Structures are given as structure tokens and as C-alpha cells.
Amino acid sequence: MKFGTKTIHAGIKADPSTGAIMTPIFQTSTYVQAAPGDHKGYEYSRTHNPTRDALQANLATLENGKHALCFSSGMAAIDTVIRSFAPNDEVISTNDLYGGSYRIFTKVHQLNSGINFKFIPMQDLSSIEEAITPKTKLIWVETPTNPLMNIIDIKGIVDIAKKHNIKVAVDNTFASPFLQRPLELGADIVIHSITKYIAGHSDVIMGAVILNDDSWAEKLAFLQNSCGAVPGPQDCFLTLRGIKTLHLRMKAHCENGSKIAQFLVNHPKVENVYWPGLESHPNHQIAKDQMDDFGGMLSFTLKDDAIEKAFELMSSLKIFSLAESLGGVESLCGHPASMTHASIPKEEREKAGLRDTLIRLSVGIEDADDLIEDLSVALDKV
């Protein structure tokens, strides 16, 4: 099936008892057994739930993977992946990444689990070779990165990792499987904050991992059940409904993202625009090679680099709402240094290139002319 058909049909079957075309919300905690151990595949909803199973089957197909597991948040998904490693194992991560990922790596797992993390810029593949040690077990990739929109060569990372028998994990949240499918490029596991583009309507908190490795999937399923960070059936239903328009929404996000990026590049008050679809982007060619389009996420800075100016602009926007998160149908703006990335120390943020004056946009699917007018009016005020 083509991608648009997969979003609607993959993993979805009409309900056998009623013929309902939409997967029912199985709002139950437990299931009646005919005799001890004699059941219909379901015992307790922390372990399995039919609504969640349908969503997991759908997600696996969208990423062209074999297994998918859903969690109560993107952070729970990340936590479970890292829990599958052992004390003294080492993880190499990109240094430009979501603040919540940095926080759980350094303040939870490095502090309490004894797993060590190195943060390096991954645009230069040679830096990865230099960082690998005998203890390195995982390379953690975000691409596009949050919030500087750097593009990392997934295939190049995989080639290096395979030489050293190291796993590769890719946080694919910014791209979604519509734009990029890391498993096809050789990655071992894909992570999503389902909250963002996949659910797409700012009404669900959820995460997921997708992979092909049977033994790793079994280990993650054990952790999923044992630790219990699973989503409820209502959220799974909402996500299944959201996925049905993923391909349509992503096309609109990409089209609007391109128009907004071009507007900002040509505006006299804007200094830098970070969007991989621009030919001036340093990783533009890699983005063309591994992505099907360039998405609706972008960041920019003003020529007047005062933080007061950035705050004034964000507070002046009317259609872009000032809020955390991204990937919903509505446009959002955010200030990474004080919002999504505040948990990263200032010196580490600046080392990665994240200035306090950076503004991040999640471009929604409204009419592009209205979004441009909104930005234009706000820019005129600063």
C-alpha cells in the first residue's frame, strides 16, 4: 500500500462483533477468562488492550517496521529504550536535542542508572568515530534536530555503528514517518513523541518505539508491562483517528513551512532562518537525500539580537500561539531557551548554537497568507 492508504487501513480491521469500521475504545481494565489461563488473548489492559494493539500495528506499518509499542508519553518511550541498557554502558547523543531528552539522559539515567552519555555535534561524522569507545552501545540521533533544524546523515551513522556493533536510535518526531523512515536507512529503532505530528491535534500525550529486532522488542515489551507507562484506550483511539489524515496534514505543513521560511529569509529584520528546505542550509543535500520533504518546523533569530525584541515579537503574534509542543494543526511559536530547552544548562545550549534569542515555529495548516500577515505585523512592532 502507498503511505496515504496505510494511514487509513494498516493494522485496522472492522470490529468482528458489530462490523464497526472505527476501532472501538476498549475501556476496560480486565477481561473475563473461561478458566485460569483460558482467555481470548487479553488478561489485563496494562499488558494488552485491543485499541492499543490496533494502533501499534498501524504505527509499525507506517515506519515499515515489525514491532511497535506505545507509551504514555514520548518521555516514557525514551525512558524504556534507555532502560534496556546496563550500568556502565555508553550512549553517544547529538548535542542539539530536545531538552527533555537531555534531562532524562543526564539527571535520571546517568545519575541513577550508571549509563554514561556523550553529547557531540553529529553533522561531522568523523566526530562520531572519535567518540566511540568499547563501552559505546547506542548512538542517539535526532534529525531534524530540536530546535536548530540540523540534519544528521542517518545512513552515514549506521555505517559507522555497524562497524562497531553499536545500535542506532533515531528520534523521528520532527519528520514523522511521512517524511522520513529511519528503519529503511538501517537504524535499529525509531522513537516518536506521538503527541506531535502523528496524533496531530494537540489533544493526546503519547510516545512510541518501532523496531524490527525480535529480542529487543521482547525486552521492551517486558519493560512496558513491568513499568506500566502505557497509554489509555481513549488516547489510542484519538491517535488512530488523527493518523488517518497524517499524509494530508503533512503536505500542508510542508507547503506552509516553505512559504514561511521564504518570507523570513527575505525580511529585513530577520538574521538567520533554520529550515532544511533552504538551499543555504548546510545540510540541505542530506535532507533532500533522506527526507521526502522538509516539514513545518523552523527557527529564526532577529538582527536586533536583544532578548526583549524576541519576547516582544512572540507576544505580538495572534494566530501563532505562544505555547510549548509542536506538530498540531494550529501554528505555535516558542522560546526554546526558557521553554522546551530550559533544562539544558545555558553554557551547553550555547555550545550547541542555541542562543537565548532563538524563536521556534511549528507551522500549522492554516492559510499561509494569514500566517505570513501575522508574522509581518509582529515584525513591524520590533
In 159-184, which positions are buried (b, 16+ CB within 10 angstroms) versus exposed (e)? ebbeeeebbbbbbbbbbbbbbbbbbe
| Alpha helices for 29-140 (secondary structure H) | 50-62, 74-83, 99-103, 126-131
Residue 306 C-alpha cell reads as 536583544
CB-CB contact of 123 with 283 (8 Å): yes
Instruction: Identify the bridge partners of residue 69 per DSSP, sorted by sequence position.
Output: 209
Residues marked as catalytic: 46, 98, 171, 196
Q: What is the pLDDT of residue 136?
A: 98
Question: Which conformational region is residue 304 in: left (phi greater than 0), alpha (psi within -120 to 50 degrees), or beta?
Answer: beta
- Under the banding of pLDDT at 50, 70 and 90, the label for residue 49 is very high
Cell of 46: 496494562
The string of pLDDT tens digits covering residues 212-228 is 999 999 999 999 999 99
Q: Quick one: pLDDT band at residue 287, thresholds 50, 70, 90? A: very high
The Cα 298–Cα 334 span in angstroms is: 11
pLDDT one-digit tens code per residue, 55-107: 999 999 999 999 999 999 999 999 999 999 999 999 999 999 999 999 999 99
Query: Residue 244's pLDDT is what?
Result: 98
Tens digit of each residue's pLDDT (9 = 90 or more) over 99-127: 999 999 999 999 999 999 999 999 989 99
Q: Which residues contact 111 (CB under 8 A, 6 or more apart)?
A: none
The overall pTM is greater than 0.75: yes
Q: So what's the architecture of 3-241 in CATH?
A: 3-Layer(aba) Sandwich (3.40)
CA angle 191, 327, 139 (to 5 degrees): 25
Q: What is residue 20's predicted lDDT score, i.e. its pLDDT?
A: 96
pLDDT of amino acid 335: 96
**3-state SS, one letter per residue, for 235-261:** HHHHHHHHHCCHHHHHHHHHHHHHHHH
Cα gap 296→315, rounded to integer Å: 21
Q: Domain 246-381 is of which CATH architecture?
A: Alpha-Beta Complex (3.90)
Q: What is the pLDDT of residues 139-189, one digit of tens each?
A: 999 999 999 999 999 999 999 999 999 999 999 999 999 999 999 999 999
| Residue ranges of the chain assigned to CATH 3.90.1150.10 | 246-381
Residues facing 208 on adjacent strands: 70, 192
| Cα–Cα distance for residue pair 229/206, rounded to 1 Å | 10
The residues of the chain that CATH labels 3.40.640.10 are 3-241
Percent of the chain scoring above 90 in pLDDT:
97
The 3-state secondary structure of 267-314 reads CCCEEEEECCCCCCCCCHHHHHHHCCCCCCEEEEEECCCCHHHHHHHH
